[in-house]
Amino acid sequence: MADNNRYNQRGVSAQKEDVHKAISRLDKGLYPNAFCKMYPDYWGGDDAFCNVMHADGAGTKSILAYLYWKETCDLSVWKGIAIDSIVMNTDDLLCVGATGPFTYSSTIGRNKNLIPGEVISEIINGTQGYFDRLKEYGIEVHLMGGETADVGDVVRTVIVDGTMACRMRRDKLVTTEKMQAGDVVVSLASYGQATYEDEYNSGMGSNGLTSARHEMLNKEYAHKYPESVDPNLPEEVVYNGSYRLTDAAEGTPLNIGKLLLSPTRTYAPVVLQILQQHFDKIHGIIHCSGGGQSKCLHYLPQPLRVVKNNLLPIPPLFKMIQQSAGTEWKEMYQVFNMGQRLELFTDKDTAQDIVAIAKQFGIDAQVSGHVEKSEIKEVVIDNELGTFRYT
């Protein structure tokens, strides 16, 4: 499809096919179907435990922060980038039942000529500040330092990544092996304002930002900030939108820039409580990041069909992206979380308790689908926009 071609022309892939191919022969760890890779307890040598490590980052969201900071002099957006890098790690680890204590090491690569020390300070101090906030909700993370490299020949602006690790009891793991026909899917909203957030969250997360940025923002940013664009990209896929960063975002309290820069919501306080109360009933947890609503397809332990026929409403941001880009809805659900970034697989009775726990934190949640027997692994989205199948 033409829109998918534009996505590929920008040098990005929703499914990361080449990456999956590259790692296909590597050891998949103790539990191949689990959301994160786990290894024996190398440091402690205890068979009752395992080691879990994960690496992720804010991706091209840092380019948006750069543009917004240059346009408005608002340094605070860099704290959001620090949060993005952290949450893309914590919330992947939540999917195997890990709730800490965690260790975290940051990796920042910058073009020093464009990214001064005050930005680096904001990112690093924002990192520790967010860990202090998480501790208030029972999530313990220790900052172990990291690397800040001046690599202007490699990085045009700045990239912010992190690596997180923890040691877990094996009998407290969530590995997706229990996912089965008869399970229901509970989706947790990525938008709104959780009790532990300071303002409205658009639900953006840290996936699909390359597409969102180029499809929504005005061409003037390519000319004003050429460092924000790969010079090898075809002109027709660069900043095709009509919006400016400070334009009001209809239906939200934010402007366009802040809408796109909403810090990725963590579900750690919610999942901690869910696991404390219902660990034995949780058959799988999926972080709907890269791959969006089709993400769970890669973690099904056997041929099963996941039918999502009652998803949460699409929040304003994703409607704006779709309207700006003209992207087919099937691809939208595969690239973006579409308003629900975490889903849990469980039984019907436990599902109602999960919904109630989420709502205690100000997060919308509902039973969004169910699991059926199937001859193939398949995800089906069925709503007023159409029926979309992913295999």
Q: What is the pLDDT of residues 162-172, one digit of tens each?
A: 999 999 999 99
Q: Indicate the helix (H) or strand (E) that contains 379.
A: strand 378-383
The tokens of 335 are what?
């690239």
- At the topology level of CATH, where does 2-206+260-390 sit? 60s Ribosomal Protein L30; Chain: A; (3.30.1330)
pLDDT at 204: 96
Position with higher pLDDT, 111 vs 34:
111
Which whole-number Å values give the CA distances from 233 to 174, 206, 215, 239, in the listed order? 41, 22, 14, 11
Kindly report, residue by residue over 56-72, the tens digit of the pLDDT: 999 999 999 999 999 99
- Tell me how far apart the alpha carbons of residues 94 and 377 are, in angstroms, rounded to a whole number: 23
Tell the burial category of 153 from Cβ atoms under 10 Å away from its Cβ (0-12, 13-18, 19+). Answer: exposed
pLDDT at 205: 95
Kindly report, residue by residue over 227-256, the tens digit of the pLDDT: 999 999 999 999 999 999 999 999 999 999
Kindly report, residue by residue over 2-41, the tens digit of the pLDDT: 455 555 665 565 555 665 576 667 777 888 888 998 999 9
- Tell me how far apart the alpha carbons of residues 63 and 57 are, in angstroms, rounded to a whole number: 13
pLDDT at 34: 87
Whether the CB-CB separation of 307 and 296 falls below 8 Å is answered with no
Which whole-number Å values give the CA distances from 103 to 86, 167, 171, in the listed order? 11, 10, 21
pLDDT at 1: 37
Q: Residue 200 half-sphere exposure, CB side, CA atoms within 13 Å? A: 14
Nearest to 265 by CA among 59, 61, 74, 80: 80
Domain boundaries, the chain: 2-206+260-390
- Tell me how far apart the alpha carbons of residues 329 and 382 are, in angstroms, rounded to a whole number: 11
Question: Mean pLDDT in the chain?
Answer: 94
pLDDT at 2: 41
pLDDT at 11: 57
Q: Judge whether residue 203 has pLDDT over 80.
A: yes
The total of other beta-carbon atoms located within 10 Å of residue 79's CB is 18
pLDDT at 184: 98
